[in-house]
Amino acid sequence: MFVSRHLSSTLAHARASFPAVLVTGARQTGKTTLLRHQADPDTAYATLDDPLTRSFARADPKGFLTQFPASVILDEVQYVPELLTYLKIAIDADRRPGRFLLSGSQQFPLMRGVSESLAGRVAVLDLLPFSLAEYPEADLAGWLWHGGYPACALNPAARDLWLRSYVQTYLERDVRELLELREVAAFERFLMLCAARHGQLLNMAHLSRDCGVTQPTIKHWLSVLEASYLIYRLPAWSGNLGKRLTRSPKLYFVDPALALYLTRHPSPASVLPGPMGGAIFEGLIVTEALKACAARGKTPPLYHLRSQDGTGIDLLLDLGSTILPIEIKLTATPALGHLASLRALRKSGSAPWHPQGWLVCNTAEVQPMPDGMLAIPWSRFPAMLAELLS
């Protein structure tokens, strides 16, 4: 079953404009499926995950590329980073748009090679797990439980087995490669502790203490999770609001099912009423905004605002001329109390705030609220966000 992805139009535009297009993202988000679906019928395909293909590409990179006089999909290109230099030579000799379609899963080594070899020659796009807009679901708890990884969302019965295998494969392959670890038990504990902090301010000192490793190690390990597209660090807004603001980012897992699996939630019914219900719901909305930006090929202009007394705004969307403040509350009954931070922010007048403020919640319909605020159902958020971004 092929599910249409919102990145498709951005990918088509990039293919028409650049000699090479690189689609990155976590493993199993559908990068290869998307590229093969949109490629021309005569486009060749080679995966560098295959040992024989990888050996050929390393031993004779020039000869390897001459196999493909038309266009080619080169899958998992991060396994042969030295190939990128020869791709540059091939592109400079023939700059036909859309000639090379590349995919890769590990951002650090891959992006280092791209920046050194293919700058100005390649469009880089991120494909994240399904968004609500791509794979809608009426049941909130069910969507959170199964998440957005295609294999898990499209085959709910295999959810537990698939997630267990995914985590084990990630630890055994990517972590060992990126960190050169002989024993991944400490990193596995770190991964679970991060999941337990989903939706919280990132405190590396606390993570260091609980994991029993140094803060520089924690910093490096967080970078590895980010490079693997497993987590997203929502940066703090740095505007001058006339009061002391925290500069710590907030930590979110990009996929809710993975966070729930790592925190050992027993069933979909345990998600929303449990102690992490609000954080999981908040993460859904934040990463929905992240996915909407990624689908448009944009760096996400997303922030949070938090003062040191604990008050603040869950999500700020910088639209360029204005900034839209968004509060996220797991409630089916939006009330004035939920708008306190939004109304205080509006009165501060310290930034070009959007005329509206949004309260994304579990209500059934869009409801006007005082001072130009709107209470928005979580199911309507993707469509309203898309309209705003377009």
Confidence of residue 239 (pLDDT cuts 50, 70, 90): low
Q: How many domains does the chain have?
A: 3
For residue range 90-129, what is the model confidence (pLDDT) as tens digits?
999 999 999 999 998 877 777 777 877 888 899 999 999 9
Q: For residues 308 and 310, give the distance between their C-alpha atoms in angstroms, rounded to a whole number.
A: 5
Residue 19 is assigned to a structural domain of this protein: yes
Domain boundary (251, 283, 315) is at 283
pLDDT over threshold 90, residue 308: no
Write the pLDDT tens digit of every residue in 336-369. Answer: 989 888 888 877 766 788 989 999 999 999 999 9
For residues 381 and 318, state if they share a domain. yes
Q: Of 100, 126, 152, which residue constitutes the final position of a domain? A: 126
Q: Is 24 in contact with 124 (CB distance < 8 Å)?
A: yes
- Decide if 241 is inside a domain: yes
Percent of the chain with pLDDT over 90: 75
Residues 6+ apart with CB under 8 A from 275: none
Residue 299 lies in a domain: no
Mark whether 175 and 198 lie in a shared domain: yes
pLDDT in tens, 127-152: 999 999 999 888 999 999 999 999 99
pLDDT score, position 368: 95
Check whether residue 121 and residue 144 sit in a common domain: no
* The predicted structure's pLDDT at residue 245: 65
What is the distance between the alpha carbons of residues 296 and 311, in angstroms, rounded to a whole number?
32
Are 107 and 174 in contact by the 8 Å Cβ rule? The answer is no
147 domain-assigned = yes
Half-sphere exposure of 253 (CA within 13 A, CB side): 25
pLDDT in tens, 65-80: 999 999 999 999 988 9
Give the phi and the psi of residue 315 in degrees, each rounded to 5: -150, 130
pLDDT score for 341: 87
Residues 147 and 113 reside in one and the same domain: no
Is the pLDDT assigned to residue 207 strictly greater than 90?
yes
User: Does residue 291 sit within a domain?
Assistant: no
pLDDT of residue 242: 46
Residues 248 and 365 in one domain: no
Residue 287 has pLDDT above 60, yes or no: yes
Do residues 256 and 231 both lie within one domain?
yes
Domain that holds residue 380: 305-389
* DSSP line for 309-339: TS-EEEEEEE-SS-EEEEEE---SS--GGGG
The CATH code of the domain that includes 260 is: 1.10.10.10
Same-domain pairing of 61 and 175: no
**Both 61 and 162 in a single domain?**
no
Residue 288 is assigned to a structural domain of this protein: no
- Does residue 135 sit within a domain? no
pLDDT at 294: 96
| The last residue of a domain, from among 81, 104, 126 | 126
Per-residue pLDDT band for 309 (boundaries 50, 70, 90) equals: low
